[in-house]
Chain A
Amino acid sequence: NAGVTQTPKFQVLKTGQSMTLQCAQDMNHEYMSWYRQDPGMGLRLIHYSVGAGITDQGEVPNGYNVSRSTTEDFPLRLLSAAPSQTSVYFCASSYSLLGVDSPLHFGNGTRLTVT
């Protein structure tokens, strides 16, 4: 059981370039989300999805797009990378409504540097 798989692990982009961070889960979780982790700022929610075809914005959605065509996959797209998007990105999933019986399962992250 792989859990939540993120690719790539590391990425360096130049300002203005685009890329997609991949996230896949094999736990049949309905809920998937993207967080960014920055020093001193904790984890901030970018976008989330409660099922295939359904997405919504989190705290810091600007500069990022998402789509959810399947239950398993939830890619995060950076259309025009900026240095402010240098961060570690985590994908997380959960079985259903968040709570004691449905914790977040995180991937191991993608470290992105934008120069």
Chain B
Amino acid sequence: QQQVKQSPQSLIVQKGGISIINCAYENTAFDYFPWYQQFPGKGPALLIAIRPDVSEKKEGRFTISFNKSAKQFSLHIMDSQPGDSATYFCAASVSGTYKYIFGTGTRLKVLA
């Protein structure tokens, strides 16, 4: 299965709260899991990425948690800010290939 299932489709969070977006996959050959952030009218941009040899990666307020046995990974945005309001895409790929499989996206709105 090549799909990456992403949830929720949309998310509203209060300023200062934690935003959590989840993704699940079936293909055990996937070994690279990036998250992309997209603002309106712009192309997606890499936010953070993880490989399955670690269970967590943190960059500032953004953390990826990875559960290899469950084939799930999630993005946590701590202390969410209105400037984080964007669409977030998870993705997966197999190293050495040229194909990402993207999730369907989560539209995040952080209320001031």
Interface residue ranges, A against B (CB under 8 Å): 4, 31, 33, 35, 40-45, 48, 50, 56, 58-59, 90, 92, 97-100, 103-104, 106-109
**Chain A interface mostly:** strand
Q: Which residues of B does A touch, CB under 8 Å?
A: 6, 9, 32, 34, 36, 41-46, 49, 51, 89, 91, 93, 95-100, 102-105
**Are B32 and A99 closer than 8 Å at their CB atoms?**
yes
Which chain B residue shows the least CB distance to A90?
B43
**Of the candidates B6, B41, B100, B105, which one forms a contact with A104 in the assembled complex, judged by CB atoms under 8 Å apart?**
B100
How far, in whole Å, are A111 and B93 apart by their CA atoms in the complex? 26
* Residue pair B100, A45 in contact (C-beta under 8 Å): yes
Can you report 18 A-B residue pairs in the complex whose CB atoms are below 8 A from each other? A42-B105, A43-B44, A43-B100, A48-B99, A56-B98, A58-B99, A59-B99, A97-B98, A98-B32, A99-B32, A100-B32, A100-B49, A100-B51, A104-B36, A104-B44, A104-B100, A106-B45, A107-B43
